[in-house]
Amino acid sequence: MDNIQNNGNGRYSAKGMAKPINFLCIAPDAQEVSVIGDFNDWNGDAHAMNRQFDGSWITQIDLHHGHHRYQFLIDGRPALDPSANGVVRNEKNQRVSLIAVS
């Protein structure tokens, strides 16, 4: 229960809890795909995606409430997610995908 926050009126808030978020990347010719982002220090080894029979790649990552910046890493090359909530810039002024978790 240490991830649940009491909001002061006896009720508990989900803001402190992680929520499973599905990521889908369409890259049928890729050999390796992962998700990198502010939630894993942009580490390509942290969240490898699983190839599906149709050539798409999927994974599920538990993310906390708020906005998260991320990219797909397709065979070592960063790529934006066309189904992201938006596109923003990271600390290096590179374009990255944005997802809002509520």
Q: What CATH number did the domain enclosing 79 receive?
A: 2.60.40.10
Q: Are 97 and 80 in contact (CB under 8 A)?
A: yes
**For residue 35, is it within any domain?**
yes
Burial class (CB in 10 A: 0-12, 13-18, 19+), 77: exposed
Provide the pLDDT for residue 2: 41
**For residue 33, is it within any domain?**
yes
pLDDT band at 10 (very low <50, low <70, confident <90, very high): very low
**For residue 39, is it within any domain?**
yes
**For residue 2, is it within any domain?**
no
Provide mean pLDDT across the span 58-69. Answer: 97
Q: In terms of residue numbers, what domain contains 97?
A: 14-101
Euclidean distance between CA atoms 32 and 27, whole angstroms: 9
**For residue 81, is it within any domain?**
yes
pTM: 0.82
pLDDT band at 17 (very low <50, low <70, confident <90, very high): confident
Q: How many domains does the chain have?
A: 1
Averaged pLDDT of the chain = 88
Question: pLDDT tens digits for 29-55?
Answer: 999 999 999 999 999 999 999 999 999
**For residue 4, is it within any domain?**
no
Structure tokens at 43: 């580490």
